[in-house]
Amino acid sequence: MLLGRVVGNVVATMKNASLSGQRLLLVQPIDRNGRDKGKVLVALDSVGAGAGETVYWCRGKEASFPFLPAEVPTEATIVGIVDVVNIPSAKDARTRA
């Protein structure tokens, strides 16, 4: 899984039937210090995440498992809302959500 921050959402009226009712969110991947890392992507939401929140998200086929038994076509899904990232040894490495 990787850290990210929700920076927006996507609305799509015409979409695969299995995606109906799912929220499409824009996720900016971030590093351990909360800095942007890499490019924004679209991910499904399985935990009720909202804009500005720090989250962690899952890649690959596993990303569709929160929605079982429904088979949802996604390769990135938010699976947790981060309260605190605790990195004791690194300087300036504590990120609060």
Partner 1 sequence: MLIGRVIGDVVATQKAPSHVGRKILVVQPLNLDGSDRGEAVLALDAVDAGIGERVLLAAEGYSAMTAVGRPNSPIDMAVIGVIDSVDLIEGAK
Closest of 45, 50, 36, 49 to residue 76, by C-alpha: 45
Binding site for partner 1 (CB under 8 A): 1-3, 31-32, 37, 46-48, 56, 58-63, 65-66, 68, 77, 79-90, 93
Instruction: List CB contacts of 74: < 8 A, sequence separation 6 or more.
Output: 19, 22, 43, 44, 63, 64, 67
Closest of 60, 55, 97 to residue 76, by C-alpha: 60
- If the CB atoms of residues 14 and 48 are measured against partner 1, the closer one turns out to be 48
- If the CB atoms of residues 14 and 85 are measured against partner 1, the closer one turns out to be 85
- If the CB atoms of residues 27 and 85 are measured against partner 1, the closer one turns out to be 85
Instruction: Compute the least distance from the CB of residue 67 to partner 1, in Å.
Output: 9
Instruction: Compute the least distance from the CB of residue 71 to partner 1, in Å.
Output: 12
